[in-house]
Amino acid sequence: MSATIAVAPGLAAAGLSKSVPSLSQELVGEVLRGLTRRGQKTLPASWLYDAIGSALFEVITLLPEYGLTRADAGLLERKADEIVAAGSPGAIVELGSGSGTKTRFLLEAAVRQQSPTSLGYFPIDISSAALESCAKVLAAIEDVAIQPIEASYLEGIRAAVSRRRGRERLMLLFLGSTIGNLSPAEAAGFLRAIRRLLQPGDTMLIGADLVKPEARLLRAYDDPTGVTAAFNLNLLGRINRELGGDFCLARFRHEASWNPKRSRVEMHLRSLEAQRVRIAAFDLEIAFRAEETIWTESSYKFEAGEIPALAARAGWHTVSQWIDYDWGFAETLLAVPRIAKHG
């Protein structure tokens, strides 16, 4: 998967050289700003998903300690017919192209319930490789017209909307609790922006991981096999590979902690000693104190009722919710109401 999260603009002020043309300049700017800020150092979570990071994330989804993806897929498999009946989509638009496994249940249910016309499926991703592999996995489903869109989420939704056939309804999929990697303010802004691009009756299915005991969460984000640690440390490896950094990965440790006040798991990389790291692309040396951390990701966990409340603040109406109580995961189907109360 590749998470596309809005990044802060403007590189000129940061004085970045043009030596990294293949990378998103906005993202590179975020790396620079995050590592040079005065207080808590940060790296953008979207930087986790290069080819190596995406492959490590696929392995995370197989770990016995990380039940999130299995709970999401299991719920979709069991409830696909109900979900599709509640949204009656003529086309399905997926934010992130995923591995295809989860989407298959919904596409097959939609085809079963569909009139003779074929079902449109628009996976949206910034990675062409991810789109290609998703199209390959799902190609065998009959009566589905797969139309990949290589774009950011909002741009991609605009493109899918422009290809709407007549008055057909769109169903957007935002699965895997990717919403949990946004802050509450970002999530509300994102849901509002999406709602404004759609028509009354269009729907959106959101998968969200629920709050669970701390020990269970920490095992999921700091697994004994060390896959999540490798996923997190790969951020530094990526800076070395793509920006000419000289991070020594053994001098940093992966950490996951639960912040109960904010209801989020935080991933950090802790510097094990005082050290200086050079990044050639920025022509810069960055100093780390012993024990200082780089905050790399937040993964918010929700109470089931929080998703409808968040959606209502963004002008959506909740149609229905399905919950897996074993792991703690919710699928919530939202719809664009006839008259939105919130701009």
Report the interface residues with ligand AVI, using CB under 6 A.
Answer: 1, 3, 60, 68, 176-178, 180-181, 221, 228, 297, 299
SS3 content of the chain, % helix, strand, coil (to 5): 40, 25, 35
DSSP-derived 3-state class of residue 171: strand
The residue (of 3 and 206) whose beta carbon lies closer to ligand AVI is: 3
Q: Which amino acid, residue 331?
A: E
Q: Measured from the CB of residue 239, what is the shortest distance to ligand AVI in angstroms?
A: 18
Nearer to ligand AVI, 3 or 28 (CB): 3
- From residue 212, alpha-carbon distances to 52, 247, 263, 329 in Å are 29, 35, 10, 10
Tell me the closest approach of the beta carbon of residue 64 to ligand AVI, in angstroms: 14
Comparison of 49 and 282: residue with beta carbon closer to ligand AVI: 49
- Closer to ligand AVI by Cβ: residue 90 or 293: 293
Residue number with CB closer to ligand AVI (95 or 138)? 95
Closest contact distance (angstroms) between CB of 48 and ligand AVI is: 7
Beta strand 203-209 with 170-174 is parallel
In whole angstroms, the minimum distance from the beta carbon of 342 to ligand AVI comes to 26
Reported for 54-63, long-range contacts at CB under 8 A and 24+ positions apart, including other chains, are 54/1, 54/2, 54/127, 54/130, 56/227, 56/230, 56/231, 56/234, 57/1, 57/231, 58/99, 59/227, 60/223, 60/227, 60/228, 60/231, 61/99, 63/220, 63/223, 63/225, 63/227, 63/228
Crossing angle for the helix pair 68-87 and 101-113, to the nearest 10 degrees: 20
For the bound state, the minimum distance from the C-beta of residue 11 to ligand AVI, rounded and expressed in Å, comes to 26
Q: Which residue's C-beta sits nearest to ligand AVI?
A: 299
CB of 57 to ligand AVI, least distance (A): 6
Which among 61, 331, 298, 41 is positioned nearest to 182, based on CA atoms? 298
Nearer to ligand AVI, 177 or 293 (CB): 177
